[in-house]
Amino acid sequence: MLRNRRLILNVVLSMTVLLSTSSWAQPDLQLGSATGMQGETVTIPVNFTNNGSVVGLQFDVQFNTTQLTVGTSAGGAALSPHLLHWSTPSAGTLRVLIRPDITPSLPNVGNGEVVSVPFTIKAGAVPGTYDLTLPPAGVVFSDGSANAVSAGTLTKGQVTVGRPDISISPLVLDFGTVKVGTSSATKSVTVSNLSSATANLTVTKVEITGANSSDFSQTTNCSAPLTPGSSCVANVAFTPSSSDPKGAALSIQSNDPDQGVVTVALNGTGGVPHILARRVLLSEDFTSGIPTTWTNVDAWSTGCGRVIGSPFIAPWAIVDPSCGPVSEELLYTPVFDAGSCTELALLISNRFSHGTGTRGTISITDNYGKDWTEALTMSADEGPGWKEIDLGGAVGAEGAQIEFAYSTSSGFWAIDNVWVLCRPADLTFKALTGATSDPQTILITNTGTVDLNLSSVTFTGTDGAQFGVIGGGCTGKVGPSESCPVRVAFSPTSTGLKDDAKLHILSDASDSPTLEVPLSGKGVVLLASPEQGTLGSQITIHGSGFGDKKGKAMVGGAALKVLTWTSNSIEGLVSKVLTLGPSTVAVQTKQKGASPITQDDAFSVETPQIWTIVPDHGGVNTPVVITGKYFGAKKGKVTIGGKSCKVTSWAMDASTGMSTIQFLVPKGLAAQPYDLKVISKVGEGVDRFTIVQ
């Protein structure tokens, strides 16, 4: 018996060539597969399917030594009660021996996993799949009689070397401008594992670094390993602490061997709303076309059918060669008074389309058009959008005017929503008691970089109740560079000065959360329109209690030539002047015993105002045109150096006072500058004219 056991053991251990073959079905041997990353150890199961006769076996496993090293094999669930031996007879070969113990009986090898073989993937292993082979010459099965048992199917195994491959998208998060102290909407960064093998990506740390790291925050769901093809997300928010540019980085650390740390640039700017209130001196949106109070030289129109877009609202003023020939096209605003302004600006909707040689300029005059200064020149495409132009050259000027000049024959230029804006914004009114004045407009502009939220517009002061907002007011959101008009009117309940009142504006502006605009008004019993004029001017006196029968109206003690008379208005001509400057207006009704209705300083008698002289130089008989106001209805005199000129035309618009004189330069003057005077029945205006030979 002992002799038989030793014989079997000798056959199994020596693996000699066996001379006979069992008739049993062939047993199978199968190597498993595993996937790992560089530096990891994987385990390969070895499964055996016995045909019922094998009591011992030996097999060689060949592997790639440049990528793998072999560890210590361990018995599997099907090994017992057999014994396990292993060795490495040569480089790249692992030899495994499974034999029965020397007992009275020789049990068969069990079915299933008989052994597991660990392989360590080298740190420098190249990603890929590497075979574990079972060379037939190295596989021997034996039965209990020391007979060789032919092998059935020998299945190779594999070790796949994978590595995580991190992908981050996007690599830059730009939060734009966010209000200081508030948080932006979150922006997401997606972390993906692009590994082609079963190599999990482990995100080990997510943090925000950099100079402004405290202005950014993040949350993430990247705690669990990412299998190939899966992803997680880091959400970042921006909460600026101050109004300046901020920068930081989102740092993502992982087990990716090539990109252990990936950073995402974080950018944002802290913004604040700023509020600016300005008084509107002039506004025009061209709803009814180009007004007759504007001067249009040639080709400016409101047609052509072009589509421009916001902030333009049709119609608008445009000069466009597609509508007809153009060359040098000029458009002038009315003259406006900027005498009380310390800051002056023009705000317009602007669209300039540049063509070959095209040029657009905006110029300003502070002396009724005698001299012009360019405030803006455009020679490239602009808009459509809002554009603000500084008109500081006309600050403090009573005779301010704006010129829009377009030259060449290509491209086009369109303007809309014209606002001439003045600071300080203080408003001054005059109105009949019991009536409401014409409104004046305050334009509230957000000069900040984030939305301005207006919470209320009210009136304060003991006289505040005598002022009101006409229309819908101005509350809610005003975007950066956007504006909102507030139309204010005065409704005095009694006569006299009402100057304890302010327009009170509450907002979230960082610099002026409470903004106040001083208001003053004068309640009167008589109101002249216009309030300035001269001999020959036509005025209307507004009031009440005049009666239906015509009485007498006087300006500065001189009777007005009455044209029409109603119970609340008198229209007449200034036919006689007794005093210059501010004058009392009086109305004497026909009612028996009634006292005159009087109002101090209701009308001012003006002397001639010379605006332009074209040309401002010339020789004998040179025709010259003078424009201005208040020259008078009756022809007066024009002198140069005290010498009378031949006046060929003298005219004044009785309603507006706009005046024009045409004359010829006289003889007998040497070539030099002289005083030029316009002499009316009430006074004179003086300018300069140069005689040339």
Task: Give the pLDDT confidence score for residue 163 in this predicted structure.
Answer: 83
Class level of CATH domain 166-271? mainly beta
Task: Give the pLDDT confidence score for residue 21 in this predicted structure.
Answer: 40
| CATH 3.40.109.10 holds for 276-422 | no
CB 48 within 8 A of CB 56: no
pLDDT at 229 over 50: yes
The residue written with tokens 């002061």 in the block is: 461
Residue 128 and residue 150: Cα distance in Å, rounded?
Answer: 33
CB 537 within 8 A of CB 681: no
Q: What is the mean pLDDT of residues 419-429?
A: 96
The architecture in CATH of the region 425-524 reads: Sandwich (2.60)
pLDDT at 19 over 70: no
DSSP 596: P
Fold match between 276-422 and 609-691? no
Exposed / middle / buried, residue 432 (Cβ in 10 Å: 0-12, 13-18, 19+): buried
Higher pLDDT, 410 or 591: 591
CB 213 within 8 A of CB 305: no
> Which tens digits make up the pLDDT trace of 262-305?
999 999 999 999 999 999 999 999 999 999 999 998 789 887 77
> Which tens digits make up the pLDDT trace of 165-186?
999 999 999 999 999 999 999 9
Residue 687 and residue 693: Cα distance in Å, rounded?
Answer: 20
Task: Give the pLDDT confidence score for residue 24 in this predicted structure.
Answer: 52
> Which tens digits make up the pLDDT trace of 480-530?
989 999 999 999 999 999 999 999 999 999 889 999 999 999 999 999 999
Q: In sequence order, what DSSP letters do the residues of 111-151 get, joined into one string?
A: SEEEEEEEEEEPTTPPSEEEEEB--GGG-EEEETTS-EE--
Task: Give the pLDDT confidence score for residue 327 in this predicted structure.
Answer: 76
**Both tokens assigned to 147:** 């007979």
Record: fold of 527-605:
Immunoglobulin-like (2.60.40)
CATH number for region 609-691: 2.60.40.10
CB 680 within 8 A of CB 631: yes
- Sequence-ordered strand ranges (E) for 312-379: 317-319, 328-332, 343-353, 359-365, 373-378
Quick count: other Cβ atoms within 10 Å of Cβ 102?
A: 12
Task: Give the pLDDT confidence score for residue 39 in this predicted structure.
Answer: 86
The residue written with tokens 């300006």 in the block is: 555
Residue 424 and residue 502: Cα distance in Å, rounded?
Answer: 13
Residue 318 and residue 296: Cα distance in Å, rounded?
Answer: 11
pLDDT bin (cut points 50, 70, 90) of residue 11 is very low
Residue 258 and residue 168: Cα distance in Å, rounded?
Answer: 13
Q: Could you tell me the residue ranges of all domains in the chain?
A: 2-162, 166-271, 276-422, 425-524, 527-605, 609-691
Residue 91 and residue 68: Cα distance in Å, rounded?
Answer: 11
> Which tens digits make up the pLDDT trace of 86-119?
999 999 999 999 999 876 678 999 999 999 999 9
CB 268 within 8 A of CB 174: yes
Task: Report the percentage of the chain scoring pLDDT > 70.
Answer: 96
pLDDT bin (cut points 50, 70, 90) of residue 128 is confident
Q: What is the mean pLDDT of residues 5-12?
A: 40
What contacts 565, CB < 8 A, 6 or more positions away?
A: 546, 548, 549, 550, 551, 571
**Closest to 149 in 3D by CA, of 228, 6, 50:** 50
Class level of CATH domain 2-162? mainly beta
What contacts 163, CB < 8 A, 6 or more positions away?
A: 37, 38, 127, 195, 197, 199, 256, 257
pLDDT at 679 over 60: yes
Task: Give the pLDDT confidence score for residue 5 in this predicted structure.
Answer: 38
Task: Give the pLDDT confidence score for residue 472 in this predicted structure.
Answer: 75
Could you give the dihedral angle defined by the CA atoms of residues 640, 644, 645 and 646, in that order, rounded to the nearest 10 degrees? 180
pLDDT at 22 over 50: no
Residue 425 and residue 278: Cα distance in Å, rounded?
Answer: 5
What is each CA distance from 585 to 77, 437, 532, 593, 624, in whole angstroms?
Answer: 122, 19, 12, 19, 37
Task: Give the pLDDT confidence score for residue 16 in this predicted structure.
Answer: 35
- Report the mean per-residue pLDDT for the chain: 92
pLDDT at 409 over 80: no
**Both tokens assigned to 173:** 């998060």
Residue 469 and residue 202: Cα distance in Å, rounded?
Answer: 64
CB 45 within 8 A of CB 155: no
**Both tokens assigned to 536:** 């020959």
